[in-house]
Amino acid sequence: MKNKTGIIKSLKKYVSLLVMTLSLGGNMELLAQNEIVPVWTESIPGAKKVNSFIENVEYKDKKPNSISKVITPTLSVFLPEKSNANGTAIIICPGGGYSHLAIAKEGYKVAQWFNSLGVAAFVLKYRLPNDEIMENKIIGPLQDAQESIRLIRRNAEKWNIEQSKIGIMGFSAGGHLAATLSTHYDDKVYSVADNISARPDFSILIYPVISMSDSITHLGSRNNLLGKTPSFFLIEKYSNEKQANSQTPPAFLVHAADDQAVPVENSLDYFKALKKNDIPVELHIYEKGGHGFGMGNKVTNQNWTKTLEKWMLQRNYLNK
């Protein structure tokens, strides 16, 4: 009976992974030479099973564009050509106000650009805070981010990655998750079987939500993560500008001064917090650009990626 049960579990896992692959809409030209791996190889910590809760994928031009109601977190693996690989890896956290994931614009497209630099990229489809499927929705995304770093470090040899060259990147609310990992990487939010560190070696934050403070937060992101009436303790704990210390990873930040959704003060305050702790940090503020410009648009500097490339070169992340 035990063998039979094991076989059934293996078949269920195989079918689940097959469905995840097919859910990308047959978009194999986008995911050429890559794979999709589950973040959790065993049970997902703190998960509640709800049969009526089904992941939703919205398509644009027959390709996945936005994902909501994430149940099973995954990493979409984008590997550069071996001859071009430099051993650096980046986990990309798409934004979406902790209500959905803008997975094309702030995920797959960015990953392909990193591959052109020789960087291995992993697009994180993280669980969005939801009381219906989580025992504690506040730590759900952080659990996925921590385990993603550990998973990549465990498989560094397989993916031709150096364990000391793994960064985290986030856009908007994904930037909050990336900054949360950067300041809460040591939080005990689930049971870990080994001693693999979840600390990213660097962070890249693009128009990020940093703070949960009333004056500058993105209220939708805060409501989704902490609830509509969060305690002072929770606001302080997840205002990442207040959690930075001497061990916080170096950061590169991009923001537009006219961002009406996530005020530029989010990036300014994080910059000041890192500078106060003598952490290397670089901030680029553009006069115009609004929010959600992704890799660039017509009104803001379309080449912030070139500036990021120079920063990564300076910090030896693009050297073989």
Q: How many residues does the chain have?
A: 320
Cβ of 71: how many Cβ atoms within 10 Å? 16
What is the pLDDT at residue 300? 60
* Amino acid letter for position 109: K
What is the pLDDT at residue 303? 77
224 contacts 172 by C-beta, under 8 angstroms: no
Domain borders along the chain are: 2-314
Pick from 136, 174, 149: which is nearest to 45 by CA?
A: 136
Average pLDDT score over the chain: 90
CA pair distance 66, 69, nearest whole angstrom: 11
pLDDT exceeds cutoff 90 at 9 = no
pLDDT tier at 299 (50, 70, 90 boundaries)?
Answer: low
Residue 76: which H helix or E strand, with range?
strand 74-78
CA pair distance 54, 319, nearest whole angstrom: 43
What is the pLDDT at residue 297? 65
pLDDT exceeds cutoff 50 at 268 = yes
Mean pLDDT of 249-268: 97
Mean pLDDT of 22-35: 48
What is residue 167's three-state secondary structure? strand
Mean pLDDT of 103-114: 96
What is the pLDDT at residue 320? 77
pLDDT exceeds cutoff 70 at 33 = no
What is the pLDDT at residue 34? 80
pLDDT exceeds cutoff 60 at 87 = yes
Mean pLDDT of 6-16: 45
**pTM (whole model) above 0.85:** yes
Of the listed ranges 18-22, 72-76, 239-243, the one predicted with least confidence:
18-22
Cβ of 240: how many Cβ atoms within 10 Å? 28
CA pair distance 234, 227, nearest whole angstrom: 10
CA pair distance 309, 252, nearest whole angstrom: 11
Of the listed ranges 25-39, 99-113, 126-140, the one predicted with least confidence:
25-39
pLDDT exceeds cutoff 80 at 259 = yes
CA pair distance 197, 205, nearest whole angstrom: 21
CA Rg value for the chain: 19
Question: What are the Cα distances from residue 233, in Å, to 177, 212, 258, 265, 276?
Answer: 18, 11, 30, 21, 23
What is the pLDDT at residue 21? 44
Pick from 233, 187, 180: which is nearest to 210 by CA?
A: 180
Residue carrying structure tokens 């009526």: 52
pLDDT exceeds cutoff 50 at 31 = no
2-314, what's its fold? Rossmann fold (3.40.50)
Mean pLDDT of 282-306: 84
By CB atoms closer than 10 A (0-12, 13-18, 19+), residue 57 is middle
pLDDT, tens digit (0-9, with 9 covering 90-100), for 127-154: 999 999 999 999 999 999 999 999 999 9
